[in-house]
Amino acid sequence: MKKFIYSILIISFLLNNVYSQENKDSFPQLDISKIALVNQTDSYVTFPTDIGNIAPLMFEANISPSFIIRQRKDSRLMAALTSQVIIRMYNKESYPVQTPSYMPQVTFYYLMGRKQSKTHNTLFGRVAHHSNGQDGDFYNENGLINLHTGNFATNFFEIGIIKTSHSSNLNAIKFFKSAIEVHPRSWMLEELQGQYSGLRWHNTFTAYKLPFINTNKNENPNFSLKLETTLMLDSYNNLNTFNLDRLNASLTFYYHPKFLEDIGLFVQFYHGMDYYNIYFQNKLDVIRFGLMTEILRF
Query: Could you please report the per-residue DSSP string of 116-176?
Result: T-SSEEEEEEEEEEEE-S--B-SB-TTSSB-TTTB--EEEEEEEEEEEEEEETTTTEEEEE
Q: Is the pLDDT of residue 278 over 50?
A: yes
For 69-128, what is each residue's pLDDT tens digit? 987 878 889 999 999 999 999 999 999 998 999 999 999 999 997 766 678 899 999 999
Q: Does residue 15 surpass a pLDDT of 70?
A: no
- Say yes or no to pLDDT of 28 above 90: no
pLDDT at 23 over 60: no
Q: What is the mean pLDDT of residues 139-155?
A: 95
Tell me the residue type at 280: F
Residue of 32, 20, 34 whose CA lies nearest to 298: 34
pLDDT of amino acid 72: 82
Q: Is 34 exposed, middle or buried (0-12, 13-18, 19+ CB in 10 A)?
A: middle
The whole-number pLDDT of residue 24 equals 41
If we measure between CA atoms, which residue out of 228, 208, 118 comes closest to residue 163? 118
Tell me the domain boundaries of the chain: 2-293
Note whether 208 and 219 are within 8 A (CB). Answer: no
CATH of the structural domain 2-293, one choice from 3.40.50.720, 2.40.230.10, 3.30.300.30, 3.20.20.70? 2.40.230.10
Return the pLDDT at 34: 83
DSSP 207-264: EEE-S-SS--S----SEEEEEEEEEE-S--TT--TT-GGGEEEEEEEEE--TT-SSEE
64/217 Cα distance (integer angstroms): 26
Query: CA Rg, the chain, in Å?
Result: 20
Q: What is the pLDDT of residue 42?
A: 86
Nearest to 123 by CA among 113, 110, 132, 134: 110
Half-sphere exposure of 240 (CA within 13 A, CB side): 2
pLDDT of residue 173: 87
Question: What's the pLDDT tens digit per position in 174-190?
Answer: 999 999 999 999 999 99
Q: Which amino acid is at 165?
A: S
Write out the H or E segment, with its range, that includes residue 86: strand 77-90
At 232, the amino acid letter reads: M
Rounded CA gap, 203 and 176, in Å? Answer: 7
Report whether pLDDT(22) > 50.
no
Say yes or no to pLDDT of 168 above 90.
no
Report long-range pairs for 70-75 (Cβ below 8 Å, ≥24 apart): 70/32, 70/33, 73/31, 73/33, 74/31, 74/115, 75/32
Q: Which residues contact 101 (CB under 8 A, 6 or more apart)?
A: 84, 85, 86, 87, 130, 131, 132, 275, 276, 277
pLDDT at 12: 52
Q: Mean of the per-residue pLDDT values for the chain?
A: 86
What pLDDT does residue 18 have? 46
Query: What confidence score (pLDDT) does residue 175 get?
Result: 92
Long-range CB contacts for residues 241-247, cutoff 8 Å, separation at least 24: 244/1, 244/2, 244/5, 245/273, 245/283, 246/197, 247/5, 247/271, 247/272
- Closest by CA position to 57, among listed 225, 291, 288: 288
Furthest C-alpha separation in the chain: 66
More confident residue, 247 or 3: 247
132 has pLDDT over 60 = yes
User: Among residues 30, 46, 69, 42, which one has the least CA distance to residue 291?
Assistant: 46
Q: Which residue has the higher pLDDT, 245 or 216?
A: 245
- Between the two ends of the chain, the Cα-to-Cα distance in Å is 37
Mean pLDDT of 6-14: 52
